[in-house]
Amino acid sequence: MKSSTLAANEGKVLKGIGVSPGIVIGKAVLLERQRTRFIPRRVTTRQVISEVKKFKEAIEKSKGELQEVKERILEKGFTQHSYILDVHLRLMEDRMLRDETIRMIKEDLVNTEWALEVTLDKISEAFDSIEDEYLRERKEDIRHVVERILRNLTGREPQKVEDLEEDTIVVAHDLSPADTIQLNLKRVIGFATDMGGRTSHTAIVARSLEIPAVVGLEDITAYVGGGETIIIDGTQGAVIVEPSRATIKAYQLRQHHYRYLERELLKYSSLKAETQDGYHLTLEANIELLDEIPSVIQYGAEGIGLYRTEYLYLSRKTLPTEDEHFHVYKKLAEEIAPYSVTIRTLDLGGDKFASHIDLAEEMNPAMGLRAIRFCIKEKEIFKAQLRAILRASTYGNLKILLPMISGVEELRQVKVILEEAKEELRTKGVAFDPEIPLGVMIEIPSAAITADILAREVDFFSFGTNDLIQYSLAIDRVNEHVSYLYEPLHPAILRSIKGVVDIAHEAEIEVGICGEMAADPLYTLIFLGLGLDGLSMNAIAIPQVKKVLRRSTRTEGERLLQEILKFSTAKETELFIRKEMADRFPEDFIQCVA
């Protein structure tokens, strides 16, 4: 529920897309970028000349402004960002934009503002059909250019954004690149916007300037009037408006921890993920977007252990084509080689929905017709994805991972579809890796219990502990009322993992964890004891886990596990492991009191 009163906004937490990591606490400045809506107005043939003249003058004025901004930012030394302004300057000259607008004014006898808006819509539509996501999102640049021209057509003054106080957090509906770089960036410590995605320019600029940012918040401008205290958590994608003193304190601690992590832990990125007695645990990254490839490399991941492909289906009006899938997988394969990339097939449903895929409204969506069940039913959608993975497999090392497998029958059904996809490619003479490894996620209790049967028919296992905990303990993972029962250290979970790891090793297949649990360094020694072959996590978590590994031995992990398996509750295990870790790593872990 929306409310404009401050009291109601106190501690308001908004979730968006964290596009530039880090935590900052500062004062909000609201940049108004209200879009004026224009209506069509008839012009007479005599007025056409003055309308066209007005349009050309507005373009010239806009170019002049951009040129000025460009010179100023070059003076400030932000040379790498001036290219964005060059792009905008060139767009001002775009023939389609100019000629089509002028044609409309002359032939349709409409006012310039309306003609320009209609032209923008036409160009935007053409952009929507571009396959490359990055290029497609560049239509935002054209929109920003048009908005500047429209402002100059109407003679509105631009909002001054340079006189900012120290520690300002800029809140806006949207920020154009010119807006962003005009800000006094020495004083801006964070960004929060209603609009935007990972590849929007605010995101790109924020990341390269290392300013924490959260975009895609949808309605933060409705909650902020300016002057409020705001916390930006660019790592988690959260913004807190008017936090309580306790929240500020908690975030200051996190901020401290985060800075420490950045400084101290980065040096572990380039070191081997190996214990002192020579046990190597493969640490891979979980990603949702191609944009994350640089951090996969920066934090020293040895590959991608989970690429959540459902993000290819979200926030768009149509299904991704086979070629779109292919280009993404090819890029991943090429950039991550010689390491491997585990591509998880579509895992839609539960808390992940795509507007163009009609999933029936179900009482229990987490247990409904979703993920692999949906793919088996909608075979053609699934096969397009499988063909794309197969085609891309010749460009590097790809693996296929199936979500939500509940038993071997489903696996066999998928194998039949995979064979069909291979056959179709063979018929067309398209190359692919015939030995591409196929694995299943162990995230449904029935899969864990029948792991011995599954192990005979797959190349690897990957624990989806987020769901394994949800389904084993009957705790809805997105329901905050039962979140206190969501216990990764529950004996049922540890026993499930142990049982499956032993079975996997007997069958000589590899087994790892790719649920959130893998990223928690508190559990690293337990995982060592359990004998897991790999862990896949947010790339940024890798250095800390490496640190724990490099200062421990596998034997220590095994000894700890023996103790832990004797406990009856998650609480006992947590107390025990916290104490152990705080003793071993006093600088990284805080001991909790019973």
Q: Which residues pair with 442 in a beta bridge?
A: 463
CB of 3 to ligand PEP, least distance (A): 32
Q: Quick one: 234 or 512, whose CB is closer to ligand PEP?
A: 512
Residue 514 contact, options ligand PEP, Mg ion, none, Cβ 5-8 Å cut-off depending on partner type: ligand PEP
Residue 236 contact, options ligand PEP, Mg ion, none, Cβ 5-8 Å cut-off depending on partner type: none
How many residues of this chain bind Mg ion (CB under 5 A)?
3
CA distances from 293 to 40, 332, 549 (A): 46, 8, 24
DSSP 73: H
Residue 26 contact, options Mg ion, ligand PEP, none, Cβ 5-8 Å cut-off depending on partner type: none
Q: Cβ of 493: how many Cβ atoms within 10 Å?
A: 21
DSSP string, 572-583: HHHHHHHHHHHH
541 binds ligand PEP (CB under 6 A): no
Q: Which residue has the tokens 């060139």?
A: 90
Which residues, 37 to 66, sit near ligand PEP by CB under 6 A?
none
CB of 536 to ligand PEP, least distance (A): 8
CB of 461 to ligand PEP, least distance (A): 13
Q: Quick one: 348 or 384, whose CB is closer to ligand PEP?
A: 348
Strands 229-233 and 238-241: antiparallel
310 binds Mg ion (CB under 5 A): no
Question: x/- site string to Mg ion, residues 451 to 490, per CB under 5 A?
Answer: -------------x--x-----------------------
Give the N- to C-terminal CA distance of the chain in Å, as an integer. Answer: 38
Question: Binding segment for ligand PEP among 250-258, 464-472, 481-489, 523-531 (CB under 6 A)?
Answer: 464-472
Q: Residue from 113, 137, 147, 467 that binds ligand PEP (CB under 6 A)?
A: 467
Helix, strand or coil for residue 395?
helix
DSSP 360: P
Question: Binding segment for Mg ion among 69-77, 440-448, 487-495, 561-569 (CB under 5 A)?
Answer: 440-448
Q: Quick one: 92 or 518, whose CB is closer to ligand PEP?
A: 518
Which residues, 426 to 455, sit near ligand PEP by CB under 6 A?
443
91 binds ligand PEP (CB under 6 A): no
Dihedral angle computed from the Cα positions of residues 314, 441, 478 and 480, in that order, rounded to the nearest 10 degrees: -150
CB of 464 to ligand PEP, least distance (A): 3
CB of 443 to Mg ion, least distance (A): 5
144 binds ligand PEP (CB under 6 A): no
Q: Which residues are the active-site residues?
A: 201, 514
CA distance 331 to 396: 9
Which tokens hold the place of 220? Answer: 């933060």
CB of 501 to Mg ion, least distance (A): 18
CA distance 368 to 359: 9
Which residues, 328 to 347, sit near ligand PEP by CB under 6 A?
347
Which residues, 121 to 140, sit near ligand PEP by CB under 6 A?
none
Helix, strand or coil for residue 543?
helix
Nearest Cα residue to 200 out of 138, 142, 144: 138
Q: Quick one: 147 or 292, whose CB is closer to ligand PEP?
A: 292
Question: x/- site string to Mg ion, residues 320 to 349, per CB under 5 A?
Answer: ------------------------------
CA distance 33 to 29: 12
212 binds ligand PEP (CB under 6 A): no
Determine the longest span between alpha carbons in the chain, in angstroms: 91
CB of 151 to ligand PEP, least distance (A): 43
Question: Binding segment for ligand PEP among 129-137, 145-153, 241-249, 459-467 (CB under 6 A)?
Answer: 459-467
Question: Phi and psi dihedrals of 356, rounded to 5?
Answer: -90, -5
* H-assigned helices in 477-553: 491-506, 524-530, 542-550
Q: Quick one: 390 or 514, whose CB is closer to ligand PEP?
A: 514
Length of the chain in residues, anyone?
A: 594
466 binds ligand PEP (CB under 6 A): yes
Which residues, 392 to 421, sit near ligand PEP by CB under 6 A?
none
CA distance 78 to 80: 6
DSSP string, 172-239: ES---HHHHHHS-TTTEEEEEESS--TTSHHHHHHHHTT--EEE--SSHHHH--SS-EEEEETTTTEE
Which residues, 224 to 243, sit near ligand PEP by CB under 6 A?
none
How many residues of this chain bind ligand PEP (CB under 6 A)?
10
Distance of CA 303 to the CA centre of its chain: 17
Distance of CA 68 to the CA centre of its chain: 35
Those residues with Cβ within 8 angstroms of residue 215's Cβ, 6 or more apart along the chain or in another chain: 16, 17, 19, 191, 192, 193, 195, 196, 197, 200, 202, 203
CB of 288 to ligand PEP, least distance (A): 9
DSSP string, 417-457: HHHHHHHHHHHHT----TT--EEEEE-SHHHHHTHHHHHTT
Which tokens hold the place of 294? Answer: 């640089």
- The amino acid occupying position 531 is G
CB of 315 to ligand PEP, least distance (A): 16
141 binds ligand PEP (CB under 6 A): no
Question: Binding segment for ligand PEP among 290-298, 413-421, 461-469, 480-488 (CB under 6 A)?
Answer: 461-469
CB of 54 to ligand PEP, least distance (A): 53
Distance of CA 67 to the CA centre of its chain: 34
Residue 205 contact, options ligand PEP, Mg ion, none, Cβ 5-8 Å cut-off depending on partner type: none
Q: Are 20 and 199 in contact (CB under 8 A)?
A: no
Q: Cβ of 406: how many Cβ atoms within 10 Å?
A: 18
Q: Are 539 and 273 in contact (CB under 8 A)?
A: no
Strands 12-15 and 238-241: antiparallel
Q: Quick one: 141 or 467, whose CB is closer to ligand PEP?
A: 467
308 binds ligand PEP (CB under 6 A): yes
Question: x/- site string to ligand PEP, residues 491 to 530, per CB under 6 A?
Answer: -----------------------xx---------------
CB of 231 to ligand PEP, least distance (A): 25
Residue 465 contact, options ligand PEP, Mg ion, none, Cβ 5-8 Å cut-off depending on partner type: ligand PEP
Question: Which residues form the interface with ligand PEP (CB under 6 A)?
Answer: 306, 308, 347, 443, 464-467, 514-515
Question: Which residues form the interface with Mg ion (CB under 5 A)?
Answer: 443, 464, 467
